[in-house]
Chain A
């Protein structure tokens, strides 16, 4: 009974804020569109009984426009996550190697852009990259280019925005992993004749792979559904799931199709989310094994905080 009372709040929370909205969304996805507010017929009604349809879901599978948008989203998310990982690894390595007093300020610098508004940041990028913006102004002013370069509304601008927005998601788990590592193991490798680069390649890097995978997925999962950044910085042809969904919902007022898109994206991301959870559990179990000389690492298996 006590157990039940303890478990009640989180389950109530999950039910109200996760399960119920997903159920409503799934219901809309199964319904037919109709003029009116809201613009669909409920799939089941007292008067008419079952009046739902699988048409919306079939459309997603059969129409290359939607399937293509999913594929593009996954590619953009994958490239963004890979870029973030590549940039975050040296940053995390540096933070982990820094003196204890320096770690918090360095992490704060990584997080700083996170604390400024999301839209003003994108606005700043637009101001920098647009035809009459800072970058083009300087380039044409110095005579480097004859006219403005098409910087904004390009893949490059989109990835710039993605990396800028999601980099902290990659830096934090990597820093935690690298701080938790047993430095004695690296010393042992050096002692056995491994140069610093070989120590990194044969010990540090393989042992940090779970953290790197977690960093990749933490960027990949939200990036796959990202709407604002491709919309504001990306090229018009970058029709990602988020943009298509937005268009169906607000422009076409096709709620059932938009809902079907949202549910499909959720289903598509279950696999990477499960993978991330597995890695996370594995990471905490691994943290229990070797005692370490790293500042915040405890030998008793509890997971140390990043900042200690």
Chain B
């Protein structure tokens, strides 16, 4: 097993009485793209700032390539950070913004000119060297901020909501560019985001943070299909949460006319809307009959709100080619037994 690029061991941080990070441990492998996903107050930004050196951890260790960097000031840490507001130097041109880090490292001038030109070419900003940040669009500023950090070739790049300030149209494209850049440079990326779609689309592994603790850490598919907790299931897209009373024979009652046969016993189960199919006859223990309450068209299909006999409400994704049922109609729903994800909390 290769050595971890970044290793956090029991990192704890308190702001006054609030516990921002609660003995959090996490590993990032070389060349890996990790997304830290969480709501506001989950501690994800604090974690990033502790790695960058802007906040000091109360307890725990921060190891970069096996070296404890916890005591180093920000300027002595080999990691680099892309700020949410980009934090470009407003009084410097694009060239000098990108050259800033190289000049601090004492790189020779011809070498600086070469590497800045190369970095700007990488993000299609040739010819913008003499502009000031105020003369750039939001997307251009974001790219300048990105190469300003990358030009130093850091082994680990930290990104604080890098797409947060862009408008929706630009986000997807910039996200893919970000990923391509990460592949091209081979640097480890740790990106903080509150956008689950962004995290799932870009990251090799996603760490879901909740109240300063790591709720789950794994590849996007695993987090989506096999969420460990109710929080993860609900945070990563829509999920129907099924709770029920377990019967001695192993089946679980999830309301009137609803019986589950889960793979293993758990306090609750998650069922994704797109794992539910419309069938002619609801099968026992893997299906239920429900009444359609509302229907919303989403372009790639329909999202149906259905009411179960017991009163619970589920969301069901229906394909676009299906003729939409009328509200009030009785729908027979079915799912594969393995689509039920047991939730432990």
| Stretch of A25-33, A110-118, A179-187, A239-247 at the chain-chain interface | A179-187
Asked whether B83 lies within 8 Å of A187 as measured between CB atoms, the reply is: yes
CA distance A185 to B97 in the complex (A): 11
Contact present for B105 and A193 (CB under 8 Å): yes
A residues near B (Cβ < 8 Å) are 182, 184-185, 187-196, 198-199, 202-203, 206-207, 286, 289-292
In the complex, A202 Cα to B91 Cα: how many Å?
10
> A191, B74: Cβ atoms under 8 Å?
yes
Q: Is the interface of A mostly helix, strand, loop or mixed?
A: helix
Inter-chain contact A182/B85, CB cutoff 8 Å: yes
Query: Are B85 and A290 in contact (CB-based, < 8 A)?
Result: yes
Q: How would residues 86 to 129 of chain B score, 1 for a CB under 8 Å from any chain A CB and 0 otherwise?
A: 01111100000000110011000000000000000000000000
Q: Give 14 A-B contacts (CB < 8 Å), ordered by A residue.
A: A185-B90, A187-B54, A187-B87, A188-B83, A188-B87, A191-B80, A192-B80, A192-B101, A192-B148, A193-B104, A198-B104, A203-B89, A207-B91, A291-B85
Given known pairs A206-B91, A289-B90, the reply for A194 and B85 (CB within 8 Å) is no
CB-CB < 8 A to B90: which residues of A? 185, 207, 286, 289-290
- CA distance in complex: A292, B91 (Å): 16
Residue from the list A191, A291, A292 in contact with B81, Cβ < 8 A: A191
**Contact A192 B100, beta carbon cutoff 8 Å:** yes
Interchain CA distance A190-B101 in the complex, whole Å: 9
Set of chain B residues within 8 Å of A292, measured between Cβ atoms: 85
- The answer to the question of B345 belonging to the interface, with a C-beta cut-off of 8 Å to chain A, is no
Residue with the greatest number of chain B CB neighbours at <10 A, chosen from A189, A192, A206:
A192
Contact residues in B for A289 (Cβ distance below 8 Å) = 90, 134
Closest to A183 in B: B87
Question: In the complex, are the beta carbons of B89 and A193 less than 8 A apart?
Answer: no
- Taking a contact as CB atoms under 8 Å apart, the answer to whether B73 and A190 are in contact is yes
Top 8 A-B pairs ranked by shortest CB distance?
A193-B104, A192-B101, A188-B87, A184-B87, A190-B74, A185-B87, A190-B75, A191-B81
Q: Does B52 contact A (CB under 8 A)?
A: yes
Contact A192–B104 (Cβ < 8 Å): yes
- Are B91 and A187 in touch, CB under 8 angstroms? no
Q: Is B152 at the interface (CB under 8 A from chain A)?
A: yes
CB-CB under 8 A from B52, the residues of chain A are 187, 191
Which residues of A lie under 8 Å from residue B53 when comparing CB positions? 190-191
Taking the closest CB of chain A, its distance from the CB of B45, in whole angstroms, is: 11
Interface residue B149 (Cβ < 8 Å from any Cβ of A): yes
In the complex the two chains form, what is the Cα distance from A193 to B88 in whole Å?
Answer: 15
Chain B residues in 8 Å Cβ range of A196: 75
Q: Is the CB of A194 within 8 A of B89?
A: no
A190 to B239, CA, bound (A): 43
CA–CA, A296 and B74, complex, Å: 25
Nearest CB on B from A292, distance (A): 8
B87 adjacent to A182 (CB under 8 Å): yes
**CA of A231 to CA of B81, assembled, Å:** 58
Q: Please give the number of chain B residues whose Cβ is less than 8 angstroms from any Cβ of chain A in the complex.
A: 26
- New A-B contacts (17) at CB < 8 Å, excluding given A190-B74, A202-B100: A187-B52, A187-B81, A187-B83, A188-B83, A191-B52, A191-B75, A192-B100, A192-B148, A194-B100, A195-B75, A199-B75, A206-B91, A207-B90, A207-B91, A289-B134, A290-B85, A290-B90
Minimum distance in angstroms from B105 CB to a CB of chain A:
6
What chain A residues lie within 8 Å of B101 (beta carbons)?
192-193
Inter-chain contact B74/A187, CB cutoff 8 Å: yes
Q: How far is the CB of A204 from the nearest CB of chain B, in Å?
A: 11
Partner of B88, one of A185, A190, A191, A194: A185
A196 vs B75: C-alpha distance when bound (angstroms):
8
For B73, list chain A residues within 8 Å (CB).
Answer: 190, 195
CA distance A292 to B105 in the complex (A): 27
Residue of B nearest to A203 (CB): B89
Query: A residues within 8 A CB of B89?
Result: 185, 188-189, 203
The answer on a CB contact under 8 Å between B134 and A184 is no
Chain A nearest Cβ from B97, distance in angstroms? 9
Q: Which residue of chain A lies nearest to B145 when distances are taken between CB atoms in the complex?
A: A188
| B120 to A: closest C-beta gap in Å | 16
Q: Which of B41-88 contact A (CB under 8 A)?
A: 52-54, 73-75, 77, 79-81, 83-85, 87-88
- Point out the residues of chain B lying under 8 angstroms from A190, CB to CB: 53-54, 73-75
- Shortest Cβ gap from B70 to chain A (Å): 16
Residues of A within 8 A of B77 (CB): 191
Quick one: closest A residue to B96, CB to CB? A202
Q: Complex Cα distance A291/B134, Å?
A: 13
Residues of A within 8 A of B152 (CB): 192-193
CB distance from A298 to the nearest CB of B (A): 14
Docked Cα-Cα span, A291 to B91, in Å, equals 16
> How far, in angstroms, from A185 to B148 measured CA to CA in the complex?
13
- Give A150 to B152 CA distance when docked, in angstroms: 60
> How far apart are the CA atoms of A202 and B85 in the complex, in Å?
19
B83 contact set on A, CB distance < 8 A: 184, 187-188
- Note all chain B residues with C-beta closer than 8 A to A185: 87-90
B139-174 interface bits toward A, Cβ cutoff 8 Å, 1 = contact, 0 = none: 000000000110010000000000000000000000
**Cβ–Cβ contact B75 & A193, under 8 A:** yes
Query: Please, which residues of chain A bring their CB within 8 A of the CB of B104?
Result: 192-194, 198
Q: Is A194 touching B75 in the complex (CB atoms < 8 A)?
A: yes
B192 to chain A, nearest CB (A): 14
A206–B100 Cα distance when bound, in Å, is 15
Q: What is the CB-to-nearest-CB distance from B150 to chain A, in angstroms, rounded to a whole number? A: 11
CB distance from A196 to the nearest CB of B (A): 8
Question: In the assembled complex, how far is the CB of residue A139 from the closest CB belonging to chain B, in whole angstroms?
Answer: 46
State the Cβ distance, A94 to closest chain B Cβ, in Å. 21
Residue ID in chain B nearest A209 by CB atoms:
B91
- Smallest CB-CB separation from A199: which chain B residue? B75
Query: Which A residue sits closest to B101, measured CB to CB?
Result: A192
**A207 surroundings in chain B (CB, below 8 A):** 90-91
Q: In the complex, what distance in Å separates the CA atom of A38 from the CA atom of B16?
A: 72
Residues of B within 8 A of A192 (CB): 75, 80, 100-101, 104, 148-149, 152
Residues in A neighbouring B148, C-beta threshold 8 A:
188, 192
